[in-house]
Structure 1
Amino acid sequence: MVIRSTVSALGAAIALSVALPANADSNLTPVTVGHLVALDMAPLFVGVESGCFEQQGLAVDTRFFANPGDNNAALAGGSLDFNINPFTLPFFAASSGVPVRVVAAAGGWGVMEVIAQSELDLNSMEDLKAHVESGGKKLKIAVLQGDTLELIMTTELKRVGLSADDVEFIYFDDLLAMVQAFRSGVDILSHIKPYTSEMIEQGRATMLTNNAKAWADKAPNTVVSALQSTLDERPEVVESLLKGMLCAADIINNDVDKALTLLQGGNYYRVPDAVLKQAFTSAPEPISFTPDIESIQYVVDEMTKMGYIGGDIAAVDIFRTDMIESLEQ
């Protein structure tokens, strides 16, 4: 997902914000959550549509941001109680002195995917290596520059003994433009579910790898963050939000058709139900919320080496996952 402050036209085109109903129960505690749109934000959306948050005493107002940098700024400025952003964004906030704390993964694994045009008949990174070694044409790969969607490719190329010189990276700063480029014939695309899922479901693409394979089964795409003051002054609200997300995850994990019906209520993804179902059922693990912090640190270290992230903030400095770990036991 995006780590820089560029507007995602894809998010703007396919997402809707859900406003808090005017007749919301006054006995509920109002909570605002900023978000983008990716498959791992489904627990937030299902939690709203199912009443899971209301059961925990919360009236959750979800606020869509096309730009993750703006999402970060809103949390830092106090206009949000929580936000859901790519896991790299809290590092930027922390390096600027903002006491952002990550309390959980957003929910969902293997959300970042690398897909290839189906006619290439590539089904793994090993197939890509065989293609290169056979002298096949140099393949073009659409990546978001300075982002985890670029790093997943460099990581996986290295794993199979290839380098960036064996392919041609086409750099983008717009998620929608990347999809359009793939539809126009770029050979390989590094992107996110459910939009990769849509092309796989349509038979246009095959999957080569994902962030679960590249880093760890529970390497996150996005995370749930709050300010340290929220953890100090309103720990019961943090716990209630996490319990609501656990409730929503239980629905998705155990009755995906019910989850799909609930998601229709907010028109969050604007892709067919068959696509969303494929995206959920192809996940490497059921939805849960305790991230693999070691894999996060690896990614941040690599992006620091590449010059995309500055500073020396460690994951252990900003991740506070003891509450979600206790709730998931």
Structure 2
Amino acid sequence: MNAFPSLSRRRFAAGAALGTAALALPRLYAQPKLEKNKVSIAVGGKAGFYYLPLTIAEQLGYFKAEGLDVEISDFAGGSRALQAVVGGSADVCAGAFEHTVNLQSKNQIFRAFVLMGRAPQIAFGVSSKTMTGFKSLADLKGKKIGVSAPGSSTNMMANLLLSRSGLSASDVSFIGVGTSAGALTAMRSGQIDAICNIDPVMTMLEQKGDVKIISDTRTLKGTLDVFGGMMPAACLYASQEFVEKNPNTCQAMANAIVHGLKWLQTAGPADIIKTVPESYLLGDRGLYLAAFNKVRESISLDGIMPAEGPLTALKALESFDSKIKADKIDLSKTYTNEFAKRAKDRFKA
């Protein structure tokens, strides 16, 4: 007779243990299985501050922490990286948000899923050597303008500025100079008369007296002056098909980037120098850090696309590109905040 209470106690203990295990199950499955562990990311000009959050996530192991084996291929400019993704040789592009608008105008739906930059970080400068009598952008007619690569965001901003001065792309010659040492050489040797590029290149040219800056979006104020609103910049984007088929993988990438953005909020100069590859400094640590301080506020805080950002980008593109028709673009298909919001909550960014 005493066996029954004992058996009941055993059953109760076993049931309680099962209940505890059941409660623990959600924790065990908190990180869903990735559809793709190996992901290839194409980027144009990885050494620039424009893509610093990507570099931080890579260097500090945040992609690996999410279970990702990421291969990053660096191209001369964002347009080349875009070609790699559209052509299928890369899964995801780290590039300018406005490319998603351009692609939709060609009936290709690509969606940004985590934002790295809330300002373009692009500056336009004219040569102190070949443009000594410069008075206005109209003086650039017939001149050579260096951009990271033809069709990239630096080219787009140059087109925007030229159009406001009554010039078109056909009035100048655009030359791809990259975003690092090659850009410095092209300007200092007189190969180009003006340059539209990102930091640290522009700060290095500016502080050495090689260029006169005439338009600047490396700060939030400068971005407002040029675009009339907040202009989203670097982001991770992929085809709609990739995002739909690989939501857990996209979430993992968004987590890694937002983790990097959170780290950047409190990182000091010494932390940056220790983390980025030595080659990114272009031989001058002091100027590299000066450039970082200049663009710091333009880095996204939490990876989320601001509500007004996509419309700012669309208006900018439409102002100089006749192929972009605002009434034909569905901006809701160019981005999603779904993944960044989850990452923000997780990392308290």
TM-score for the superposition, normalised by structure 1: 0.70
Q: 2:310 aligns with which of 293, 301, 320?
A: 293
Query: For structure 1, which segment, 208-217 or 294-303, has the greater mean C-alpha deviation from structure 2 after superposition?
Result: 208-217
Task: Give the aligned residue type for 1:66.
Answer: A
Q: 1:190 aligns with which of 184, 193, 196?
A: 196
Partner residue in 2 for 1:101: 111
Q: 1:31 aligns with which of 24, 39, 49?
A: 39
Bigger Rg over Cα = 2
Provide closer, same or farther for how the CA distance between residues 65 and 138 of structure 1 changes in structure 2, counting only shifts above 3 A: closer
Partner residue in 2 for 1:248: 260
Partner residue in 2 for 1:277: 289
Q: 1:222 aligns with which of 203, 219, 234?
A: 234
Rounded to whole Å, the distance in 2 between the matches of 1:64 and 1:101 is 21
TM-aligned CA deviation for residue 153 of structure 1 = 4.7
1:301-312 alignment runs, 5 A limit: 301-305=318-322, 312=328
Q: 1:315 aligns with which of 309, 314, 331?
A: 331
Provide closer, same or farther for how the CA distance between residues 311 and 268 of structure 1 changes in structure 2, counting only shifts above 3 A: farther
Rounded to whole Å, the distance in 1 between the matches of 2:82 and 2:152 is 16
Q: 1:205 aligns with which of 201, 211, 234?
A: 211
TM-aligned CA deviation for residue 143 of structure 1 = 5.4
TM-aligned CA deviation for residue 52 of structure 1 = 1.8
- The DSSP-based 3-state class of the residue aligned with 1:142 is strand
Rounded to whole Å, the distance in 2 between the matches of 1:121 and 1:303 is 25
Rounded to whole Å, the distance in 2 between the matches of 1:322 and 1:298 is 24
8 Å CA contact 1:142, 1:181 repeated in 2: no
Rounded to whole Å, the distance in 1 between the matches of 2:44 and 2:335 is 20
Provide closer, same or farther for how the CA distance between residues 281 and 318 of structure 1 changes in structure 2, counting only shifts above 3 A: same
Partner residue in 1 for 2:52: 42
Provide closer, same or farther for how the CA distance between residues 137 and 325 of structure 1 changes in structure 2, counting only shifts above 3 A: closer
Task: Give the aligned residue type for 1:86.
Answer: A
8 Å CA contact 2:141, 2:172 repeated in 1: no
Provide closer, same or farther for how the CA distance between residues 221 and 70 of structure 1 changes in structure 2, counting only shifts above 3 A: same
1:226-241 alignment runs, 5 A limit: 226-241=238-253
TM-aligned CA deviation for residue 229 of structure 1 = 2.8
User: How many residues align structurally?
Assistant: 290
TM-aligned CA deviation for residue 194 of structure 1 = 2.0
Give per-residue Cα distances to partners, 1:248-292, cap 9 Å, x unaligned. Answer: 223333224212221126x45645333332222102725213252
Rounded to whole Å, the distance in 1 between the matches of 2:276 and 2:96 is 22
8 Å CA contact 2:91, 2:238 repeated in 1: yes
- 2:145 aligned with 1:142, yes or no? yes
- 2:270 aligned with 1:257, yes or no? yes
Q: 1:113 aligns with which of 98, 117, 123?
A: 123
Task: Give the aligned residue type for 2:42.
Answer: G
8 Å CA contact 1:109, 1:218 repeated in 2: yes
Partner residue in 2 for 1:76: 86
- The DSSP-based 3-state class of the residue aligned with 1:219 is coil
Task: Give the aligned residue type for 1:51.
Answer: G
Structure 1 consecutive aligned stretches of length 4 or more whose deviation exceeds 6 Å: 119-122, 136-139, 308-311
8 Å CA contact 2:118, 2:231 repeated in 1: no
Rounded to whole Å, the distance in 2 between the matches of 1:50 and 1:326 is 21
Provide closer, same or farther for how the CA distance between residues 52 and 216 of structure 1 changes in structure 2, counting only shifts above 3 A: farther
- The DSSP-based 3-state class of the residue aligned with 2:276 is helix
Give per-residue Cα distances to partners, 1:193-235, cap 9 Å, x unaligned. Answer: 2211221233433433223231156423433111223322322
Provide closer, same or farther for how the CA distance between residues 102 and 41 of structure 1 changes in structure 2, counting only shifts above 3 A: same
Partner residue in 2 for 1:174: 176
Rounded to whole Å, the distance in 2 between the matches of 1:259 and 1:309 is 41
Rounded to whole Å, the distance in 1 between the matches of 2:209 and 2:248 is 46
8 Å CA contact 1:112, 1:193 repeated in 2: yes
Cα RMSD after superposing both structures = 4.1
> Which one has the bigger helix percentage?
2
1:6-25 alignment runs, 5 A limit: none
TM-aligned CA deviation for residue 113 of structure 1 = 0.4
TM-score for the superposition, normalised by structure 2: 0.66
Return 5+ residue gaps in structure 2 as ranges: 1-33, 218-222
- The DSSP-based 3-state class of the residue aligned with 1:103 is strand
Task: Give the aligned residue type for 1:261.
Answer: K
Rounded to whole Å, the distance in 2 between the matches of 1:218 and 1:175 is 27
Rounded to whole Å, the distance in 2 between the matches of 1:174 and 1:226 is 24
Q: 2:96 aligns with which of 80, 86, 90?
A: 86
8 Å CA contact 2:200, 2:288 repeated in 1: yes
- The DSSP-based 3-state class of the residue aligned with 1:107 is coil
Rounded to whole Å, the distance in 2 between the matches of 1:66 and 1:97 is 25
Provide closer, same or farther for how the CA distance between residues 229 and 300 of structure 1 changes in structure 2, counting only shifts above 3 A: same
8 Å CA contact 1:172, 1:178 repeated in 2: no
TM-aligned CA deviation for residue 296 of structure 1 = 0.9
